[in-house]
Structure 1
């Protein structure tokens, strides 16, 4: 969903250079043609790879017909990895142009685009840097759950920030909960990301183990947030970038929710009111299913806008 979030960012906030070299931004909800979709996908993939390469370089992997390596005797052939060819670039525009020229490799059915992107991400970051990013709490980027591979926080952070830190707090943690210095400092998020991140889990909340996402992820450069809600990923976004720079815009604003599931037939439009706290009273007066009393999506939004009242614009809250 990080890629979808960046596609939304690209389509809503198009940067154009003016005659004076300044940047102008326009937001629109116009229909998007196939070429625009391809450009948006190429831009989204490029953003993640360029961040992983420390904004200095990026590597793109593609599958060739011939073997690019000579397998060792103890290597088990998978007819994919050994056919990967690496293309490294030192200019971001060149990366985007190359991906756009080979966009079919990442989007066509059966092209293994997700695996190619994951290889590209790891090669851009390099294995040595990945080892430095990870700590004793995380040794893998993916986790096998119920027969499916699930992204761990380290991989989400690699996609969002370019660093595979398994933590969501700001800065570097030098001391443990007991106040003693840690043997190895834990690195969190060191700078604002272009796309944000919000996290909420009913199970973690009930156990008192809900991670506190830092402001670097909560307040991104663009009003687009990847949301991890009860271990399911979705996107919340706004149309006004001033929401992140003008506190007056946070009094009353609109957010849109997208989860990529077929069951969601229309984009959910949410009106967020941070000055009215009647949601607390109405929740106390109601009873029944906790999800109906405290919809998970609303609780996720309140991790950034504490106490906000949220109106679903006439539809029944479905998450």
Structure 2
């Protein structure tokens, strides 16, 4: 056979060469996968990193921790979650400028420290307030409490569970907290998109544009990528897969949600909602940023959940009985629950409301309205919906 036989597949030398080639191909595929996951793969149009949770050491979609990275990969490389547009759409300078003008009226304005630090954080799982978000004082409270209302709606009236009434809110795990938050955020974004589409904003590793003199960089907005969805369920799954990018410390999760909300609505529609091209959503006050567009609070919503402003502080009042507003017989004597978002509240306030007209209750109402006497502000808010109702706090100190 001579040298011609060396090329035959069965020859030892040929087998060794083939094994070496296979090993090299295997190594090449391994590094290509790692580079692709790390956001280093070169695109024909732009360099796009995989969306992450920012530069503050947040955890990745799978919840795995590690050394702080420019985004949040899990410990073991794996393909990113599927999405309608893999990689998303990078935010352009024009879009960022329009976003800033809708928010602040000026592209040179940036978020204050309390906004930059705000994210969605729950109380302890399997506790009396397992369903509850913490809401610090300041402009972020209005958005947090609006999302809180949607979380309560999901846990009480949407998801399937064996628990009833208040147990549906208390007996939830950390994973179920994430599921509830994903459902609440997706519900808000889908509503903003008028039931047709939703946009989710996440952070990539690198900036997508070079700021100009009129635009002040914040090392956050410049790295935003937009992911568009045309099915609510797909948006909800995507948010859940990236839930730590909204709830981890340092994630700027509240701003991410606000950006997602505005792009789901579209900046053009938001500007029209605000009443003109010069109007904007947020106002500066004493060094912080205050949200001024919470929306009208309807007295008879579809679900018995009310976003309230009690003494200028946003909070949530709700009932566990879905029939409360649809069956007049339920409105004789019923229970309401109240959460104000403050860390000092250690359990859900339980109120009993009696709308029966009795002479001693009428005297009580007249007495509390006399000079020097006043009812708790929450009771006064309840009576805007049920005039003359008697309210019992069941042992809880009233919130004035």
TM-score by length of 1: 0.73
Equivalent residue runs for 1:229-268 within 5 Å: 229-268=310-349
The offset of 1:293, in angstroms, is 2.3
Instruction: Report the CA distance shift for 1:133/1:285 in structure 2 as closer, same or farther (over 3 A).
Output: closer
Provide the residue aligned with 2:154 in structure 1.
Answer: 10
Provide the residue aligned with 2:287 in structure 1.
Answer: 147
The offset of 1:73, in angstroms, is 4.7
Equivalent residue runs for 1:40-59 within 5 Å: 40-59=180-199
Provide the C-alpha distance between the structure 1 equivalents of 2:392 and 2:264, rounded to a whole number of angstroms: 42
Structure 2 residue 224 is matched with structure 1 residue 88: no
Instruction: Report the CA distance shift for 1:15/1:266 in structure 2 as closer, same or farther (over 3 A).
Output: closer
Structure whose alpha-carbon radius of gyration is higher: 2
Provide the C-alpha distance between the structure 2 equivalents of 1:70 and 1:302, rounded to a whole number of angstroms: 54
What secondary structure is seen at the aligned counterpart in 1 of 2:283? strand
Instruction: Report the CA distance shift for 1:244/1:149 in structure 2 as closer, same or farther (over 3 A).
Output: same
Relative CO higher for 1 or 2, CA cutoff 8 Å, sep ≥ 6?
2
The question of whether the paired residues in 2 share the 8 Å contact of 1:12 and 1:29 is answered with: no
From 376, 379, 391, give the equivalent of 1:295.
376
Equivalent residue runs for 1:308-319 within 5 Å: 308-319=389-400
From 68, 82, 87, give the equivalent of 2:208.
68
Provide the residue aligned with 2:167 in structure 1.
Answer: 29
The question of whether the paired residues in 1 share the 8 Å contact of 2:246 and 2:254 is answered with: yes
The offset of 1:305, in angstroms, is 1.2
From 261, 264, 268, give the equivalent of 1:124.
264
Provide the residue aligned with 1:270 in structure 2.
Answer: 351
The question of whether the paired residues in 2 share the 8 Å contact of 1:14 and 1:27 is answered with: no
The offset of 1:71, in angstroms, is 3.0
Provide the C-alpha distance between the structure 2 equivalents of 1:10 and 1:93, rounded to a whole number of angstroms: 14
Equivalent residue runs for 1:211-230 within 5 Å: 217-230=298-311
The question of whether the paired residues in 1 share the 8 Å contact of 2:271 and 2:280 is answered with: no
Provide the C-alpha distance between the structure 2 equivalents of 1:84 and 1:52, rounded to a whole number of angstroms: 19
5+ residue gaps in structure 2? 1-144
The offset of 1:263, in angstroms, is 1.9
The question of whether the paired residues in 1 share the 8 Å contact of 2:153 and 2:305 is answered with: yes
The question of whether the paired residues in 1 share the 8 Å contact of 2:369 and 2:375 is answered with: no
Q: Cα RMSD between the aligned structures?
A: 2.5
Provide the C-alpha distance between the structure 2 equivalents of 1:14 and 1:28, rounded to a whole number of angstroms: 14
Instruction: Report the CA distance shift for 1:131/1:272 in structure 2 as closer, same or farther (over 3 A).
Output: same
Provide the C-alpha distance between the structure 1 equivalents of 2:246 and 2:203, rounded to a whole number of angstroms: 11
Structure 2 residue 232 is matched with structure 1 residue 105: no
Equivalent residue runs for 1:187-206 within 5 Å: 197=297
Provide the residue aligned with 1:281 in structure 2.
Answer: 363
User: What are the superposed Cα offsets for residues 212-231 of structure 1, whole Å, 9 maximum, x if unpaired?
Assistant: xxxxx211111111111121
The question of whether the paired residues in 2 share the 8 Å contact of 1:52 and 1:121 is answered with: yes
Provide the C-alpha distance between the structure 1 equivalents of 2:376 and 2:370, rounded to a whole number of angstroms: 12
The question of whether the paired residues in 2 share the 8 Å contact of 1:15 and 1:26 is answered with: no
The question of whether the paired residues in 1 share the 8 Å contact of 2:304 and 2:324 is answered with: yes
Number of residue pairs aligned between Structure 1 and Structure 2: 253
5+ residue gaps in structure 1? 17-23, 158-167, 169-196, 198-216
Provide the residue aligned with 2:95 in structure 1.
Answer: none
* Higher mean displacement: 111-120 or 303-312: 303-312
The offset of 1:74, in angstroms, is 3.4
Instruction: Report the CA distance shift for 1:40/1:65 in structure 2 as closer, same or farther (over 3 A).
Output: same
Provide the C-alpha distance between the structure 1 equivalents of 2:381 and 2:390, rounded to a whole number of angstroms: 12
TM-score by length of 2: 0.59
The question of whether the paired residues in 1 share the 8 Å contact of 2:319 and 2:336 is answered with: yes
1 or 2, which has the higher strand percentage?
A: 1
